[in-house]
Structure 1
Protein backbone atom coordinates (compact mmCIF):
# COMPACT_ATOMS: atom_id res chain seq x y z
CA UNK A 1 0.00 0.00 0.00
CA UNK A 2 2.79 2.43 0.90
CA UNK A 3 4.70 1.52 -2.25
CA UNK A 4 1.59 2.42 -4.24
CA UNK A 5 1.29 5.75 -2.41
CA UNK A 6 4.92 6.49 -3.27
CA UNK A 7 4.35 5.61 -6.95
CA UNK A 8 1.17 7.73 -6.98
CA UNK A 9 3.23 10.72 -5.86
CA UNK A 10 5.71 10.08 -8.68
CA UNK A 11 2.86 9.87 -11.18
CA UNK A 12 1.41 13.15 -9.89
CA UNK A 13 4.78 14.79 -10.59
CA UNK A 14 4.88 13.26 -14.08
CA UNK A 15 1.33 14.45 -14.83
CA UNK A 16 1.94 17.97 -13.53
CA UNK A 17 4.14 19.12 -16.43
CA UNK A 18 4.84 18.43 -20.09
CA UNK A 19 8.18 16.82 -20.93
CA UNK A 20 9.90 14.71 -23.57
CA UNK A 21 12.14 12.58 -21.41
CA UNK A 22 12.53 11.70 -17.75
CA UNK A 23 15.67 11.24 -15.66
CA UNK A 24 16.21 10.38 -12.01
CA UNK A 25 18.81 11.97 -9.74
CA UNK A 26 19.60 10.69 -6.27
CA UNK A 27 21.84 11.90 -3.49
CA UNK A 28 23.19 8.37 -2.92
CA UNK A 29 23.08 6.98 -6.46
CA UNK A 30 20.17 4.64 -5.67
CA UNK A 31 16.72 4.87 -7.23
CA UNK A 32 15.03 2.53 -4.74
CA UNK A 33 13.47 2.85 -1.32
CA UNK A 34 15.82 1.16 1.15
CA UNK A 35 12.97 -0.61 2.92
CA UNK A 36 15.38 -2.39 5.24
CA UNK A 37 16.46 1.02 6.58
CA UNK A 38 12.89 2.34 6.79
CA UNK A 39 11.73 -0.72 8.72
CA UNK A 40 14.75 -0.66 11.02
CA UNK A 41 14.10 2.98 11.95
CA UNK A 42 10.36 2.35 12.34
CA UNK A 43 10.85 -0.70 14.55
CA UNK A 44 13.47 1.03 16.70
CA UNK A 45 11.39 4.16 17.11
CA UNK A 46 8.19 2.26 17.92
CA UNK A 47 9.31 -0.72 19.99
CA UNK A 48 12.18 1.13 21.65
CA UNK A 49 10.01 3.95 22.95
CA UNK A 50 9.48 4.23 26.71
CA UNK A 51 5.92 3.08 26.06
CA UNK A 52 6.98 0.81 23.23
CA UNK A 53 4.33 -0.73 21.01
CA UNK A 54 4.49 -4.10 19.29
CA UNK A 55 5.60 -3.95 15.66
CA UNK A 56 4.83 -7.55 14.69
CA UNK A 57 1.42 -6.45 13.47
CA UNK A 58 0.35 -3.29 11.68
CA UNK A 59 -2.73 -1.60 13.07
CA UNK A 60 -3.81 1.84 11.80
CA UNK A 61 -1.50 3.68 14.22
CA UNK A 62 1.52 1.62 13.22
CA UNK A 63 0.79 2.10 9.53
CA UNK A 64 0.69 5.87 10.10
CA UNK A 65 4.02 5.70 11.94
CA UNK A 66 5.54 3.65 9.15
CA UNK A 67 4.19 6.06 6.51
CA UNK A 68 5.76 9.01 8.33
CA UNK A 69 9.14 7.29 8.53
CA UNK A 70 8.96 6.36 4.84
CA UNK A 71 8.36 9.96 3.72
CA UNK A 72 10.85 11.43 6.19
CA UNK A 73 13.54 9.14 4.78
CA UNK A 74 12.59 9.42 1.09
CA UNK A 75 11.99 12.98 -0.10
CA UNK A 76 10.75 13.71 -3.62
CA UNK A 77 11.28 16.87 -5.65
CA UNK A 78 11.51 17.70 -9.36
CA UNK A 79 12.60 20.23 -11.93
CA UNK A 80 12.67 20.58 -15.72
CA UNK A 81 15.60 21.41 -17.99
CA UNK A 82 15.91 22.10 -21.71
CA UNK A 83 18.64 20.03 -23.35
CA UNK A 84 19.88 20.08 -26.96
CA UNK A 85 21.75 17.14 -28.50
CA UNK A 86 23.19 16.05 -31.84
CA UNK A 87 21.67 12.78 -33.04
CA UNK A 88 22.69 10.54 -35.93
CA UNK A 89 19.74 9.15 -37.87
CA UNK A 90 18.97 7.62 -41.26
CA UNK A 91 16.88 9.70 -43.66
CA UNK A 92 14.34 8.43 -46.19
CA UNK A 93 17.11 7.88 -48.75
CA UNK A 94 18.94 5.60 -46.33
CA UNK A 95 21.71 8.13 -45.77
CA UNK A 96 23.09 8.98 -42.33
CA UNK A 97 22.61 12.56 -41.22
CA UNK A 98 23.10 14.60 -38.07
CA UNK A 99 20.11 16.44 -36.62
CA UNK A 100 19.75 18.65 -33.58
CA UNK A 101 16.94 17.85 -31.17
CA UNK A 102 15.80 19.91 -28.22
CA UNK A 103 14.05 18.16 -25.35
CA UNK A 104 12.33 19.18 -22.15
CA UNK A 105 13.70 16.81 -19.52
CA UNK A 106 11.80 16.08 -16.32
CA UNK A 107 14.31 15.37 -13.57
CA UNK A 108 12.98 13.55 -10.51
CA UNK A 109 15.13 14.34 -7.48
CA UNK A 110 15.32 11.68 -4.77
CA UNK A 111 16.85 12.46 -1.38
CA UNK A 112 17.40 9.40 0.79
CA UNK A 113 18.22 9.82 4.47
CA UNK A 114 20.23 7.18 6.29
CA UNK A 115 19.36 5.53 9.62
CA UNK A 116 22.26 7.50 11.12
CA UNK A 117 20.59 10.74 10.03
CA UNK A 118 17.27 9.62 11.48
CA UNK A 119 18.84 8.98 14.90
CA UNK A 120 19.41 12.73 15.07
CA UNK A 121 16.16 13.77 13.42
CA UNK A 122 14.04 11.68 15.78
CA UNK A 123 16.26 12.31 18.84
CA UNK A 124 16.52 8.61 19.62
CA UNK A 125 17.04 7.49 23.20
CA UNK A 126 19.85 5.11 24.15
CA UNK A 127 17.42 2.20 23.96
CA UNK A 128 16.18 3.19 20.50
CA UNK A 129 19.77 3.67 19.32
CA UNK A 130 20.68 0.21 20.57
CA UNK A 131 17.78 -1.34 18.65
CA UNK A 132 18.71 0.56 15.48
CA UNK A 133 22.35 -0.48 15.66
CA UNK A 134 21.32 -4.14 15.90
CA UNK A 135 18.80 -3.95 13.05
CA UNK A 136 21.10 -1.96 10.75
CA UNK A 137 24.06 -4.32 11.00
CA UNK A 138 25.67 -5.24 7.67
CA UNK A 139 25.27 -8.93 8.51
CA UNK A 140 21.49 -8.44 8.32
CA UNK A 141 21.46 -7.27 4.67
CA UNK A 142 20.81 -10.75 3.33
CA UNK A 143 18.09 -11.41 5.91
CA UNK A 144 16.26 -8.19 5.04
CA UNK A 145 16.41 -9.08 1.34
CA UNK A 146 14.99 -12.54 1.96
CA UNK A 147 12.21 -11.20 4.20
CA UNK A 148 11.22 -8.53 1.69
CA UNK A 149 11.17 -10.89 -1.24
CA UNK A 150 13.90 -9.87 -3.68
CA UNK A 151 16.95 -11.84 -2.54
CA UNK A 152 17.79 -15.50 -3.10
CA UNK A 153 20.88 -17.34 -2.01
CA UNK A 154 23.15 -17.65 -5.05
CA UNK A 155 25.63 -20.38 -5.79
CA UNK A 156 28.31 -18.00 -7.03
CA UNK A 157 28.42 -19.89 -10.34
CA UNK A 158 30.51 -18.41 -13.13
CA UNK A 159 28.93 -19.08 -16.52
CA UNK A 160 29.97 -18.57 -20.13
CA UNK A 161 28.17 -15.68 -21.88
CA UNK A 162 25.69 -16.77 -24.55
CA UNK A 163 27.16 -14.58 -27.30
CA UNK A 164 30.55 -13.39 -28.44
CA UNK A 165 29.30 -9.80 -28.32
CA UNK A 166 31.50 -7.49 -26.27
CA UNK A 167 31.03 -3.86 -25.28
CA UNK A 168 33.22 -0.95 -24.20
CA UNK A 169 36.28 -1.92 -26.26
CA UNK A 170 36.15 -5.54 -25.16
CA UNK A 171 36.05 -4.81 -21.44
CA UNK A 172 32.47 -6.02 -20.94
CA UNK A 173 30.94 -9.34 -21.98
CA UNK A 174 27.36 -10.29 -22.91
CA UNK A 175 25.39 -10.38 -19.61
CA UNK A 176 23.32 -13.55 -20.25
CA UNK A 177 24.19 -17.23 -20.79
CA UNK A 178 21.87 -17.26 -23.83
CA UNK A 179 21.78 -15.10 -26.96
CA UNK A 180 18.54 -13.31 -26.13
CA UNK A 181 17.11 -10.67 -28.46
CA UNK A 182 17.83 -6.95 -28.31
CA UNK A 183 14.39 -5.37 -28.40
CA UNK A 184 15.47 -1.80 -27.76
CA UNK A 185 19.00 -0.40 -28.13
CA UNK A 186 20.77 2.18 -25.99
CA UNK A 187 20.95 5.73 -27.30
CA UNK A 188 18.80 8.03 -29.38
CA UNK A 189 16.33 6.25 -31.64
CA UNK A 190 13.08 6.76 -33.46
CA UNK A 191 10.40 5.61 -31.04
CA UNK A 192 8.47 2.76 -32.71
CA UNK A 193 5.18 4.00 -31.20
CA UNK A 194 5.36 7.79 -31.40
CA UNK A 195 7.73 8.13 -34.34
CA UNK A 196 9.64 10.79 -32.38
CA UNK A 197 13.35 10.71 -31.58
CA UNK A 198 13.88 9.85 -27.91
CA UNK A 199 16.66 8.56 -25.68
CA UNK A 200 16.75 5.07 -24.19
CA UNK A 201 19.24 4.78 -21.32
CA UNK A 202 19.97 1.08 -21.66
CA UNK A 203 19.77 -2.00 -23.88
CA UNK A 204 16.67 -4.18 -23.46
CA UNK A 205 17.34 -7.88 -24.01
CA UNK A 206 14.33 -10.20 -24.08
CA UNK A 207 14.89 -13.49 -22.24
CA UNK A 208 12.74 -16.04 -20.39
CA UNK A 209 11.78 -15.33 -16.78
CA UNK A 210 14.39 -16.75 -14.41
CA UNK A 211 17.30 -16.72 -16.88
CA UNK A 212 20.55 -16.10 -14.95
CA UNK A 213 22.05 -12.62 -15.33
CA UNK A 214 25.84 -12.50 -15.46
CA UNK A 215 28.28 -9.82 -14.35
CA UNK A 216 29.69 -8.28 -17.52
CA UNK A 217 33.16 -7.92 -15.94
CA UNK A 218 34.99 -8.17 -12.63
CA UNK A 219 33.92 -5.51 -10.16
CA UNK A 220 32.34 -4.47 -6.89
CA UNK A 221 28.59 -4.42 -6.30
CA UNK A 222 27.65 -0.88 -5.27
CA UNK A 223 23.85 -1.23 -5.26
CA UNK A 224 21.84 -4.41 -4.76
CA UNK A 225 18.18 -3.46 -4.49
CA UNK A 226 16.33 -6.51 -3.20
CA UNK A 227 13.83 -4.64 -1.01
CA UNK A 228 11.86 -2.34 -3.34
CA UNK A 229 10.11 -4.10 -6.24
CA UNK A 230 9.47 -0.74 -7.96
CA UNK A 231 13.02 0.60 -7.56
CA UNK A 232 12.40 3.93 -9.29
CA UNK A 233 10.95 1.94 -12.24
CA UNK A 234 14.05 -0.33 -12.41
CA UNK A 235 12.50 -2.97 -10.14
CA UNK A 236 14.97 -5.20 -8.34
CA UNK A 237 18.35 -4.21 -9.79
CA UNK A 238 22.11 -4.50 -9.36
CA UNK A 239 24.82 -1.94 -10.09
CA UNK A 240 28.51 -2.88 -10.40
CA UNK A 241 31.59 -0.63 -10.37
CA UNK A 242 34.30 -1.96 -12.69
CA UNK A 243 36.84 0.77 -11.97
CA UNK A 244 38.11 3.67 -14.11
CA UNK A 245 34.66 5.26 -14.01
CA UNK A 246 32.93 2.32 -15.72
CA UNK A 247 29.73 0.90 -14.17
CA UNK A 248 26.98 -1.44 -15.32
CA UNK A 249 23.37 -1.73 -14.18
CA UNK A 250 21.05 -4.76 -14.49
CA UNK A 251 17.34 -4.02 -14.02
CA UNK A 252 13.84 -5.57 -13.84
CA UNK A 253 15.19 -8.69 -12.10
CA UNK A 254 12.86 -11.29 -10.59
CA UNK A 255 15.40 -11.64 -7.77
CA UNK A 256 19.06 -10.90 -7.08
CA UNK A 257 21.72 -12.98 -5.36
CA UNK A 258 24.47 -10.50 -4.44
CA UNK A 259 24.81 -7.81 -1.79
CA UNK A 260 26.36 -4.34 -1.80
CA UNK A 261 30.12 -4.44 -1.29
CA UNK A 262 30.48 -7.95 -2.73
CA UNK A 263 33.30 -8.65 -5.20
CA UNK A 264 32.11 -10.44 -8.36
CA UNK A 265 33.84 -12.06 -11.32
CA UNK A 266 33.02 -11.72 -15.01
CA UNK A 267 30.30 -14.27 -15.83
CA UNK A 268 29.23 -14.73 -12.21
CA UNK A 269 25.48 -15.09 -11.66
CA UNK A 270 24.26 -11.94 -9.92
CA UNK A 271 20.50 -12.00 -10.54
CA UNK A 272 17.67 -13.53 -12.60
CA UNK A 273 15.60 -12.09 -15.44
CA UNK A 274 12.16 -10.80 -14.47
CA UNK A 275 9.72 -7.96 -15.04
CA UNK A 276 9.72 -5.97 -11.80
CA UNK A 277 9.43 -2.19 -11.98
CA UNK A 278 8.17 -0.56 -15.18
CA UNK A 279 8.23 -3.51 -17.55
CA UNK A 280 5.65 -5.17 -19.79
CA UNK A 281 7.40 -8.52 -20.05
CA UNK A 282 10.48 -10.42 -18.87
CA UNK A 283 13.71 -8.86 -20.07
CA UNK A 284 17.05 -7.50 -18.90
CA UNK A 285 17.55 -3.74 -19.03
CA UNK A 286 21.35 -3.43 -19.25
CA UNK A 287 23.00 -0.02 -18.81
CA UNK A 288 26.63 0.94 -19.35
CA UNK A 289 27.69 4.16 -17.67
CA UNK A 290 31.05 5.73 -18.36
CA UNK A 291 31.83 3.39 -21.28
CA UNK A 292 30.77 2.79 -24.87
CA UNK A 293 27.25 1.92 -25.96
CA UNK A 294 26.31 -1.63 -26.94
CA UNK A 295 27.79 -2.71 -30.28
Structure 2
Protein backbone atom coordinates (compact mmCIF):
# COMPACT_ATOMS: atom_id res chain seq x y z
CA UNK A 1 0.00 0.00 0.00
CA UNK A 2 0.87 3.57 0.05
CA UNK A 3 1.19 5.27 2.10
CA UNK A 4 3.80 6.01 4.59
CA UNK A 5 3.49 4.10 4.13
CA UNK A 6 2.97 2.90 3.09
CA UNK A 7 2.13 -1.06 2.19
CA UNK A 8 3.18 -4.44 1.16
CA UNK A 9 5.86 -6.06 3.27
CA UNK A 10 7.88 -5.67 6.45
CA UNK A 11 10.66 -7.69 8.01
CA UNK A 12 10.67 -8.06 11.82
CA UNK A 13 13.78 -10.24 11.87
CA UNK A 14 16.37 -11.29 9.35
CA UNK A 15 14.58 -14.55 8.64
CA UNK A 16 10.87 -13.99 9.28
CA UNK A 17 8.63 -12.14 6.89
CA UNK A 18 5.10 -11.20 7.83
CA UNK A 19 2.37 -8.93 6.53
CA UNK A 20 0.64 -6.37 8.76
CA UNK A 21 -3.11 -5.97 8.82
CA UNK A 22 -4.03 -2.71 7.12
CA UNK A 23 -6.93 -0.40 7.88
CA UNK A 24 -7.87 1.79 4.93
CA UNK A 25 -10.14 4.02 7.02
CA UNK A 26 -7.39 4.73 9.56
CA UNK A 27 -4.84 5.36 6.83
CA UNK A 28 -7.09 7.90 5.12
CA UNK A 29 -7.66 9.94 8.28
CA UNK A 30 -4.67 12.09 7.28
CA UNK A 31 -5.21 11.79 3.53
CA UNK A 32 -4.44 15.43 2.82
CA UNK A 33 -0.96 15.37 4.33
CA UNK A 34 -0.26 11.90 2.96
CA UNK A 35 -1.25 12.90 -0.56
CA UNK A 36 0.83 16.07 -0.79
CA UNK A 37 4.19 14.31 -1.39
CA UNK A 38 2.66 12.30 -4.21
CA UNK A 39 1.35 15.47 -5.85
CA UNK A 40 4.88 16.87 -5.66
CA UNK A 41 6.23 13.67 -7.23
CA UNK A 42 3.54 13.64 -9.93
CA UNK A 43 4.40 17.21 -10.93
CA UNK A 44 7.99 16.15 -11.72
CA UNK A 45 7.12 13.19 -13.93
CA UNK A 46 7.61 14.10 -17.61
CA UNK A 47 5.23 13.30 -20.44
CA UNK A 48 5.07 9.61 -21.25
CA UNK A 49 6.24 8.03 -24.51
CA UNK A 50 2.89 6.66 -25.72
CA UNK A 51 -0.72 7.77 -25.59
CA UNK A 52 -2.73 6.08 -24.27
CA UNK A 53 -0.12 5.08 -21.73
CA UNK A 54 0.20 1.89 -19.70
CA UNK A 55 0.82 2.64 -16.01
CA UNK A 56 1.49 0.56 -12.88
CA UNK A 57 1.09 1.89 -9.34
CA UNK A 58 3.03 -0.32 -6.91
CA UNK A 59 1.56 -0.39 -3.41
CA UNK A 60 -1.57 1.49 -4.42
CA UNK A 61 -3.24 1.29 -0.99
CA UNK A 62 -6.84 2.58 -1.00
CA UNK A 63 -6.51 3.89 -4.56
CA UNK A 64 -6.79 7.60 -3.85
CA UNK A 65 -3.43 8.48 -5.39
CA UNK A 66 -3.91 5.99 -8.23
CA UNK A 67 -6.95 8.08 -9.13
CA UNK A 68 -4.67 11.14 -9.30
CA UNK A 69 -2.53 9.30 -11.85
CA UNK A 70 -5.65 8.69 -13.93
CA UNK A 71 -6.41 12.39 -13.60
CA UNK A 72 -3.02 13.30 -15.09
CA UNK A 73 -3.26 10.69 -17.88
CA UNK A 74 -7.01 10.17 -18.37
CA UNK A 75 -6.58 8.03 -21.51
CA UNK A 76 -4.18 5.63 -19.80
CA UNK A 77 -4.79 2.05 -18.74
CA UNK A 78 -3.70 2.21 -15.10
CA UNK A 79 -3.41 -0.70 -12.67
CA UNK A 80 -2.81 -0.43 -8.95
CA UNK A 81 -1.12 -3.36 -7.21
CA UNK A 82 -1.35 -4.07 -3.48
CA UNK A 83 -1.26 -6.99 -1.06
CA UNK A 84 -3.87 -5.77 1.43
CA UNK A 85 -7.41 -7.08 0.89
CA UNK A 86 -8.84 -4.14 2.87
CA UNK A 87 -6.99 -1.60 0.77
CA UNK A 88 -7.93 -3.29 -2.51
CA UNK A 89 -11.58 -3.49 -1.52
CA UNK A 90 -11.61 0.25 -0.81
CA UNK A 91 -9.80 0.98 -4.09
CA UNK A 92 -12.13 -1.23 -6.15
CA UNK A 93 -15.23 0.23 -4.53
CA UNK A 94 -14.22 3.86 -4.89
CA UNK A 95 -12.17 4.09 -8.06
CA UNK A 96 -12.18 1.06 -10.38
CA UNK A 97 -13.72 1.43 -13.82
CA UNK A 98 -13.54 3.64 -16.89
CA UNK A 99 -12.01 7.09 -16.60
CA UNK A 100 -13.51 10.28 -18.11
CA UNK A 101 -10.79 10.41 -20.78
CA UNK A 102 -11.54 6.94 -22.09
CA UNK A 103 -8.95 5.05 -20.06
CA UNK A 104 -9.42 2.42 -17.37
CA UNK A 105 -8.49 2.07 -13.73
CA UNK A 106 -8.24 -1.36 -12.12
CA UNK A 107 -6.63 -2.98 -9.07
CA UNK A 108 -4.91 -6.32 -8.59
CA UNK A 109 -3.49 -8.26 -5.67
CA UNK A 110 0.30 -8.50 -5.76
CA UNK A 111 3.22 -8.40 -3.37
CA UNK A 112 5.52 -5.68 -4.65
CA UNK A 113 8.44 -7.41 -2.90
CA UNK A 114 8.48 -9.90 -5.77
CA UNK A 115 6.35 -8.19 -8.44
CA UNK A 116 7.54 -9.00 -11.97
CA UNK A 117 6.08 -7.00 -14.87
CA UNK A 118 4.42 -9.20 -17.49
CA UNK A 119 4.02 -6.41 -20.03
CA UNK A 120 5.63 -3.14 -21.10
CA UNK A 121 4.86 0.07 -19.21
CA UNK A 122 5.20 3.79 -19.86
CA UNK A 123 5.24 4.59 -16.13
CA UNK A 124 5.90 2.53 -13.02
CA UNK A 125 5.26 4.61 -9.92
CA UNK A 126 5.20 3.92 -6.20
CA UNK A 127 4.03 6.19 -3.40
CA UNK A 128 5.21 5.54 0.17
CA UNK A 129 5.36 1.77 -0.30
CA UNK A 130 8.92 0.68 -1.05
CA UNK A 131 10.02 1.36 2.53
CA UNK A 132 8.16 -1.85 3.41
CA UNK A 133 10.36 -3.87 1.04
CA UNK A 134 13.89 -4.62 2.22
CA UNK A 135 16.19 -4.87 -0.76
CA UNK A 136 13.83 -2.95 -3.05
CA UNK A 137 16.70 -1.35 -5.06
CA UNK A 138 17.45 -4.87 -6.28
CA UNK A 139 14.19 -4.75 -8.26
CA UNK A 140 14.97 -1.49 -10.04
CA UNK A 141 16.73 -3.13 -13.01
CA UNK A 142 13.81 -5.48 -13.64
CA UNK A 143 11.24 -2.70 -13.44
CA UNK A 144 13.23 -0.32 -15.64
CA UNK A 145 13.73 -3.08 -18.21
CA UNK A 146 9.94 -3.31 -18.42
CA UNK A 147 9.64 0.37 -19.38
CA UNK A 148 9.33 1.56 -22.96
CA UNK A 149 12.22 3.75 -24.13
CA UNK A 150 11.52 7.17 -22.65
CA UNK A 151 9.36 5.65 -19.91
CA UNK A 152 9.62 6.69 -16.27
CA UNK A 153 10.13 4.97 -12.94
CA UNK A 154 9.19 7.28 -10.06
CA UNK A 155 8.73 6.85 -6.34
CA UNK A 156 8.75 8.54 -2.97
CA UNK A 157 9.46 6.95 0.41
CA UNK A 158 9.51 8.22 3.99
CA UNK A 159 12.98 9.18 5.15
CA UNK A 160 12.13 9.70 8.80
CA UNK A 161 13.33 6.46 10.43
CA UNK A 162 15.55 8.52 12.72
CA UNK A 163 12.69 10.82 13.80
CA UNK A 164 11.33 10.50 17.37
CA UNK A 165 8.10 8.87 16.16
CA UNK A 166 10.04 5.92 14.74
CA UNK A 167 13.06 5.87 17.05
CA UNK A 168 10.82 5.77 20.13
CA UNK A 169 8.70 3.01 18.60
CA UNK A 170 11.78 0.90 17.87
CA UNK A 171 13.16 1.48 21.38
CA UNK A 172 9.87 0.55 23.02
CA UNK A 173 9.50 -2.63 20.94
CA UNK A 174 13.00 -3.73 21.99
CA UNK A 175 12.50 -2.96 25.69
CA UNK A 176 11.17 -5.21 28.47
CA UNK A 177 8.45 -6.38 28.67
CA UNK A 178 7.94 -6.11 24.91
CA UNK A 179 11.09 -7.48 23.34
CA UNK A 180 10.03 -11.13 23.41
CA UNK A 181 6.94 -10.34 21.34
CA UNK A 182 7.90 -7.22 19.42
CA UNK A 183 11.70 -7.05 19.00
CA UNK A 184 12.45 -5.64 15.58
CA UNK A 185 8.88 -4.63 14.82
CA UNK A 186 9.70 -0.93 15.04
CA UNK A 187 12.90 -1.06 12.96
CA UNK A 188 11.93 -1.32 9.32
CA UNK A 189 13.00 1.86 7.52
CA UNK A 190 16.73 1.45 7.98
CA UNK A 191 17.04 -0.06 4.48
CA UNK A 192 15.69 3.13 2.85
CA UNK A 193 18.54 4.79 0.96
CA UNK A 194 19.24 8.50 0.85
CA UNK A 195 18.66 10.60 -2.25
CA UNK A 196 22.30 10.42 -3.38
CA UNK A 197 22.34 6.62 -3.15
CA UNK A 198 19.13 6.32 -5.17
CA UNK A 199 20.64 8.69 -7.75
CA UNK A 200 23.70 6.43 -8.07
CA UNK A 201 21.59 3.26 -8.42
CA UNK A 202 19.32 4.75 -11.09
CA UNK A 203 22.02 6.37 -13.19
CA UNK A 204 24.02 3.13 -13.12
CA UNK A 205 20.99 1.52 -14.77
CA UNK A 206 21.21 3.96 -17.68
CA UNK A 207 18.50 6.38 -16.61
CA UNK A 208 18.45 10.14 -16.48
CA UNK A 209 17.55 10.56 -12.82
CA UNK A 210 16.43 13.34 -10.52
CA UNK A 211 16.38 12.70 -6.77
CA UNK A 212 15.64 15.05 -3.90
CA UNK A 213 14.27 15.23 -0.39
CA UNK A 214 11.77 17.44 1.39
CA UNK A 215 10.80 17.80 5.04
CA UNK A 216 7.14 18.69 5.48
CA UNK A 217 6.27 20.49 8.70
CA UNK A 218 2.75 19.18 9.14
CA UNK A 219 0.40 20.83 11.62
CA UNK A 220 -1.88 18.06 12.88
CA UNK A 221 -5.11 18.81 14.76
CA UNK A 222 -6.81 16.95 17.59
CA UNK A 223 -5.60 14.99 20.62
CA UNK A 224 -2.56 12.71 20.16
CA UNK A 225 -2.44 13.30 16.40
CA UNK A 226 1.02 11.75 15.92
CA UNK A 227 -0.22 8.53 17.50
CA UNK A 228 -3.27 8.69 15.25
CA UNK A 229 -0.96 9.14 12.24
CA UNK A 230 1.29 6.16 13.00
CA UNK A 231 -1.72 3.94 13.73
CA UNK A 232 -2.24 4.03 9.98
CA UNK A 233 1.35 3.21 9.02
CA UNK A 234 4.37 2.57 11.25
CA UNK A 235 2.34 1.08 14.09
CA UNK A 236 0.53 -1.48 11.89
CA UNK A 237 3.08 -4.31 12.44
CA UNK A 238 2.85 -3.87 16.22
CA UNK A 239 -0.94 -3.74 16.25
CA UNK A 240 -1.01 -6.84 14.04
CA UNK A 241 1.35 -8.73 16.35
CA UNK A 242 -0.84 -7.85 19.37
CA UNK A 243 -4.27 -8.13 17.73
CA UNK A 244 -5.08 -11.33 19.67
CA UNK A 245 -4.24 -9.65 22.98
CA UNK A 246 -6.22 -6.38 23.30
CA UNK A 247 -5.01 -5.71 26.85
CA UNK A 248 -1.38 -5.91 25.76
CA UNK A 249 -2.11 -3.71 22.76
CA UNK A 250 -3.71 -1.06 24.96
CA UNK A 251 -0.81 -1.21 27.44
CA UNK A 252 1.65 -0.69 24.60
CA UNK A 253 -0.34 2.26 23.27
CA UNK A 254 -0.42 3.88 26.72
CA UNK A 255 3.39 3.77 26.92
CA UNK A 256 3.93 4.89 23.34
CA UNK A 257 1.36 7.72 23.65
CA UNK A 258 3.24 9.16 26.62
CA UNK A 259 6.52 9.11 24.72
CA UNK A 260 4.97 10.83 21.70
CA UNK A 261 3.33 13.52 23.82
CA UNK A 262 6.73 14.42 25.24
CA UNK A 263 8.45 14.34 21.85
CA UNK A 264 5.71 16.26 20.00
CA UNK A 265 4.07 18.68 22.45
CA UNK A 266 0.77 20.15 21.38
CA UNK A 267 0.68 23.84 20.61
CA UNK A 268 -2.23 26.30 20.58
CA UNK A 269 -2.98 25.57 16.92
CA UNK A 270 -2.10 21.88 16.77
CA UNK A 271 0.93 19.59 16.88
CA UNK A 272 3.85 20.06 14.51
CA UNK A 273 4.96 16.74 13.01
CA UNK A 274 8.02 17.10 10.74
CA UNK A 275 8.16 14.40 8.08
CA UNK A 276 11.09 13.88 5.71
CA UNK A 277 10.42 12.33 2.29
CA UNK A 278 12.84 11.07 -0.37
CA UNK A 279 11.90 11.30 -4.07
CA UNK A 280 13.22 9.86 -7.31
CA UNK A 281 12.23 10.23 -10.95
CA UNK A 282 14.19 8.14 -13.45
CA UNK A 283 13.66 8.30 -17.22
CA UNK A 284 14.81 5.37 -19.35
CA UNK A 285 16.98 6.22 -22.33
CA UNK A 286 15.20 6.31 -25.67
- Structure that is richer in strand per residue: 1
When normalised by structure 1's length, the TM-score is: 0.24
Higher helix content, 1 or 2? 2
The structure whose Rg is larger is: 1
Structure with the greater relative contact order (CA < 8 A, sep ≥ 6): 1 or 2? Answer: 2
Q: What TM-score comes out, normalization by structure 2 length?
A: 0.25
